[in-house]
Amino acid sequence: MHLNEKNILPLIKKYHDGDNAALEALWKEVELFIYHFPRFAYRAPEDMCGDFYLFMREKLPALWKHWNPNLSSSFTLWFLTLLRYRYLDFCRERKSSVSYLPLEEDIPQPLFDDEHAQWETLRKALASLKPHDKLWITWFYLPEELSVEDIALTRTLTGKSYLELLDIQRELIAAKLHDIENLRKTTEHLSRLFEKISHLKFLLRQPEHQTPDNLQRLLKLETTRDRLRAQLTSTNRTLIRTFGKLFSSPREGKYRLLLAETRLKHALHHSQGESYVLS
C-alpha cells in the first residue's frame, strides 16, 4: 500500500483554493490506505479497519486543511502521523462508547444464552425465589407453563380479571413463537453474511481486488452483520409491551422483571457445583 503524492498534492491545493469537488477525488486516493492502516500499523482485526474507515470518512475533510508543504518535508510522513493520532482518538471514542452504551430504552436483555440448557438448575433456582419474583420470571420467559395457582396469584397482585390474564398469556405465547421464528431466520441470514464477508476479505488480500467498489461492498456487508447481531441480543418489543400489561405501566413491568432477573442470576450463581451462562 502506498500514497500517490503526485495525484494527492494537487488535489489538496485545489481544496485549499476553495474547490470542494476535490474532496471526493482525495478520498478515493487515500481510502484503501486508511482502511488497511489499523491492520498494518497495529495488527488490528479487520472489523476495526471498517470502523476506522467510517470514522476517518467523517473527520478527514477538516484535517486536509492542516497540510502545509512548508512545514512538512514529506506528505506521506505527515499523513501517517495524522492517522496515528486519529487512530488513538478513534480507540478512545470506541472504548468510551462500548463501556457506557446504555441498554436500548432500558429494555431488559435476554436472561439466558441457551434456553434449553440445564433446566434442572434453572428450576431449582426459580424455586428458591420469593413467589412474586418467580411469578414474573415465569410470565415473561415461560408463559406456557403458568399454572392455575400462578394465575390466581397474579390476579391477587395485579387486580386483573381472569379473562384479562388469560388474554395476556395468549399474547405472550404468540409473541414468543414469533420471536423464535425471527431468531431462526436471522441466524440463517447471518450465516450467509459471514460466508460473503469471509470470501470478500480473502479477495481484498490480493492487490488486484483492492478496489473501492469491493471496499464499499465489504462495509455494507459488515454494517448489515452488526445490525443483525444487535437484533439477536435485543428483547422482542412485543414481549415487553405485552408483559407490561400486567402492571400500571410498561416501565413498572420492566423494573419488576429486572429485579426478578437479578435475584434469579444471584441464585444461579450460588448453585452448588453448577454453572449457568447468563447474558
pLDDT surpassing 90 at residue 8:
yes
State residue 210's pLDDT score. Answer: 78
Q: How many other C-beta atoms lie within 10 A of the C-beta of residue 167?
A: 14
Average pLDDT over residues 12-40: 89
C-beta atoms surrounding 211 within 10 Å:
13
Average the pLDDT over each of 105-114, 194-203, 230-239 and give the range with the smallest value.
105-114
Q: Taking the model in full, what pTM does it have?
A: 0.49
Task: Examine the pLDDT at 127 and tell me if it is beyond 80.
Answer: yes
122: confidence class by pLDDT, cuts 50, 70, 90: confident
The pLDDT value recorded for residue 119 is: 59
Is pLDDT larger for residue 245 or for residue 106? 245
Q: What is the CA radius of gyration of the chain?
A: 27
pLDDT at 274: 43
Average pLDDT of the segment spanning 34-63 = 85
Residue 74 to residues 7, 8, 167, 222: CA-CA distances in angstroms? Answer: 14, 12, 72, 34
Terminal Cα distance for the chain, rounded: 41
- pLDDT more than 90, % of the chain: 23
Supply the mean pLDDT for the chain: 80
The residue ranges of every structural domain in the chain are 5-100, 119-269
CA distance 48 to 201: 13
**What pLDDT, on the 0 to 100 scale, is given for residue 108?**
40
Say if residue 257 is exposed, middle or buried (CB neighbours under 10 Å; 0-12, 13-18, 19+): buried
Q: How far is CA 241 from CA 58, 209, 253, in A?
A: 37, 48, 9
**CA–CA distance, 202 with 205 (Å, rounded to integer):** 6
Residue of 112 and 86 predicted with greater confidence: 86
Would the pLDDT of 68 be above 80? Answer: yes
pLDDT tens column, 200-255: 887 887 878 878 788 888 888 888 888 887 776 666 678 888 999 999 988 898 89
pLDDT band at 12 (very low <50, low <70, confident <90, very high): very high
pLDDT of residue 164: 94
